[in-house]
Structure 1
Amino acid sequence: MKLRLIFLFMIISFGQLQAQNEVISLWKIVPNSIETSEEEFIEHGDIIKISKVKKPTLEIYAPSKRNATDKAVLIYPGGGYTMLAYDWEGTEIAKWFNSKGITAFVLKYRLPNSKSQKTPNEAPLQDAQRAMRWVRFNADKFGINPNKIGVIGFSAGGHLASTLGTQFDTDNNFKEESIDTISARPDFMALIYPVITMKDDYTHKGSRNQLIGKTPTKELIEQYSNELQVTENTPPTFLVHSSNDNAVPVENSIQFYKALNDKKVKVEMHIYPYGGHGFSLAINQKGYLHTWLDRLDDWLKTM
């Protein structure tokens, strides 16, 4: 009986350790939304996939206090603006950042294929802006330097990250709170096999169709083609892509690199000959693709 009680106590204690990550809601009243019967859906398979997001959240991953630096990063999982690969390109990435002493925040952002939004293409950026402002507002609480907060995005999450990095000062069309006056500019960006352009030549059609529709106007195509939105104030950027990416052509990263370089924005790019699309940490990939994390670590130390 005594052994059973000890075993039960160990299970409960382990469960408490596993449940330490705080999850906060981004909004008291979610802007640009309408009430529907639609419900968020979570699919538990090889990858945890979340779709139909109605209430955006930040999940907080903090490193141990003795290892902590004063840097932080917001993580935007990909999923073609249809769903979020929440663990594959979210929470697993957060754990890696924690191993480097960096506080990580995984953003569960609204997706434009939801019926619960008035103007679907505006919702992801609204959540990205608010997430950056929330972290900056609460920087002291987490021991973060408010001038050392970056963003990393994968695939369509890379498009959202690059949209934030180039259009962080987009005006709000909702009633603002005081937090909405804080700068939403990231201090650095890491874009991993990102969707960048919405132009026909190299776009990822699935992401484009979800974000701006199958027959978008020229204005929307240009607005969300982030290689066209780069300015001298775009944050320093780290890019990773594979040459054999058949989903999001490597030209997305190449075009963004050129736009940044032309504006004299600090940029570093690593193009691997293999890896395809969606390799995440690349732990089980052949060769040296997994070393992209070492290159990111080196680059972060210069920020």
Structure 2
Amino acid sequence: MTVGRRALLTAGLALPFASAAAREVWTRPAGLTPDASIALWPEAHVVPPAGLVEKVVQRSEDPNASDRMLEGITRPRLDIFRPAKPNGAAVILAPGGGYRYVVVDKEGYELARWLKERGVTVYVLFYRLPGDGWTNGADVPLADAQRAVRLVRSRAKIDRIDPARVAFGGFSAGGQVATSLLTRFDAKVYAPVDAADALSARPDALAAIYPVVSMDPAIAHAMSREKLIGTDAGAAREKLYSPERNVRADQPPLWLLHAEDDDVVKVENSARLREATRSVGAPVEAHFFERGGHGFGLMKSAGLPVAIWPELLWNWLGSHTIV
């Protein structure tokens, strides 16, 4: 079901399970309101685990710099940002959150607005979290990512996009979602539910921004690893969920961004994936910056050389005929 702009404005959020109390905490900056929100799956397909409650938490006290996170996602969905003059390109964004929650603004709505202003139709993906009690929990983020690509392609005429120009981007743990899709876009992680599932889940290009990638304890982000595969995962399970160990020649073109001083997700995650991708002859472009830390998004990169990253990404998307 598509939710109209008027309904979204009335609700105060494109996140329908936010409490009234939570909605009163912040003022959304102008331009960060999606134009529509659509369910990822038919309602009967997604039965939340008992006791799971979805809620929005505001992490910023600055009304002009909203920083929300969504916990306990019970309704995986796509929030859509539609440009006035679509150029045919589509970008799906998977924000981060350590597989404990999904960030709303910093790694979702902010970049969506930036891309929308350039003619791109943007879909912010709120995916299910592996530690929330779902059946086959380790595969639900990938299932939601696959479904998102297929559903976007199925809506090509409705949203005025080119189904052959669909890119996928992920930040932090959302980068793990993205890089899992990079190498396992055709893995059978869910049973088809409708005609959209006959379409390819392989993105036409994929970007991973300070991504969690590996489940190798030596470089893994500990919380993401625990939520995704548990603390006692064996070697085979660790390998399956480590994208750098599952690269393939037919994976989508890859773009990587990481700061060398990232003290949350080690830069080796991106470095290993870059080398592994090169080893199979698949296309990859990587940018490593001296400073930036973790989670800089758009706003927190101001004043640093890494602030140029959106333009670098835009040029790369252009080089692969996405934009």
Q: d(CA) in 1 for partners of 2:55 and 2:204?
A: 33
CA contact (8 A) 1:48 1:87 kept: yes
CA contact (8 A) 1:41 1:52 kept: yes
CA contact (8 A) 1:150 1:189 kept: yes
Higher mean displacement: 176-185 or 104-113: 176-185
Question: Are 1:123 and 2:137 matched, yes or no?
Answer: no
Aligned match of 1:188:
205
User: Over residues 56-79 of structure 1, what are the superposed CA-to-partner deviations in whole Å (9 max), with x where a residue is unaligned?
Assistant: 0100001112xx211111000000
Aligned match of 1:248:
265
Residues 35 and 289 of structure 1: CA distance in aligned 2, closer, same or farther (over 3 Å):
closer
Residues 258 and 282 of structure 1: CA distance in aligned 2, closer, same or farther (over 3 Å):
farther
Match of 2:58 among 29, 34, 44: 44
Q: d(CA) in 2 for partners of 1:112 and 1:88?
A: 22
Aligned match of 2:154:
137
CA contact (8 A) 1:31 1:174 kept: no
Report 1:167-186 matches (<5 A): 167-174=184-191, 176-186=193-203
Match of 1:219 among 236, 239, 261: 236
Question: Are 1:26 and 2:40 matched, yes or no?
Answer: yes
Instruction: Determine helix, strand or coil for the equivalent of 1:301.
Output: helix
Instruction: Determine helix, strand or coil for the equivalent of 1:238.
Output: strand
Larger radius of gyration: 1
Deviation, 1:28, is 1.3
CA contact (8 A) 1:34 1:118 kept: no
Match of 2:132 among 94, 107, 114: 114
Question: Are 1:290 and 2:321 matched, yes or no?
Answer: no
Report 1:5-16 matches (<5 A): none
Instruction: Determine helix, strand or coil for the equivalent of 2:313.
Output: helix
Unaligned runs of 5+ in 2: 1-5, 11-29, 61-66
Instruction: Determine helix, strand or coil for the equivalent of 1:23.
Output: strand
Q: d(CA) in 1 for partners of 2:275 and 2:222?
A: 22
Match of 1:239 among 256, 264, 277: 256
CA contact (8 A) 1:192 1:239 kept: yes
Instruction: Determine helix, strand or coil for the equivalent of 1:221.
Output: helix
Residues 251 and 39 of structure 1: CA distance in aligned 2, closer, same or farther (over 3 Å):
same
Which amino acid is 2:296 matched to? F
Report 1:250-289 matches (<5 A): 250-283=267-300, 285-289=302-306
Match of 2:84 among 46, 64, 78: 64
Instruction: Determine helix, strand or coil for the equivalent of 2:270.
Output: helix
Higher mean displacement: 118-127 or 103-112: 118-127
Q: d(CA) in 1 for partners of 2:135 and 2:182?
A: 24
Instruction: Determine helix, strand or coil for the equivalent of 2:151.
Output: helix
Q: d(CA) in 1 for partners of 2:219 and 2:300?
A: 28
Which amino acid is 1:53 matched to? I
Aligned match of 1:163:
180
Q: d(CA) in 1 for partners of 2:35 and 2:284?
A: 32
Match of 1:99 among 117, 141, 147: 117
Q: d(CA) in 2 for partners of 1:264 and 1:282?
A: 35
Residues 130 and 44 of structure 1: CA distance in aligned 2, closer, same or farther (over 3 Å):
same
Aligned match of 1:54:
74
List 4+ stretches of structure 1 deviating above 4 A. 15-20, 30-35
User: Over residues 147-201 of structure 1, what are the superposed CA-to-partner deviations in whole Å (9 max), with x where a residue is unaligned?
Assistant: 1101010000001011111101011443532221211001001110001110112
Q: d(CA) in 1 for partners of 2:176 and 2:301?
A: 25
User: Over residues 4-56 of structure 1, what are the superposed CA-to-partner deviations in whole Å (9 max), with x where a residue is unaligned?
Assistant: xxxxxxxx9xx589766100011114647454132101102321010100110
Higher mean displacement: 134-143 or 27-36: 27-36
Residues 104 and 178 of structure 1: CA distance in aligned 2, closer, same or farther (over 3 Å):
same
What do you get for the CA RMSD once the two structures are aligned?
1.8
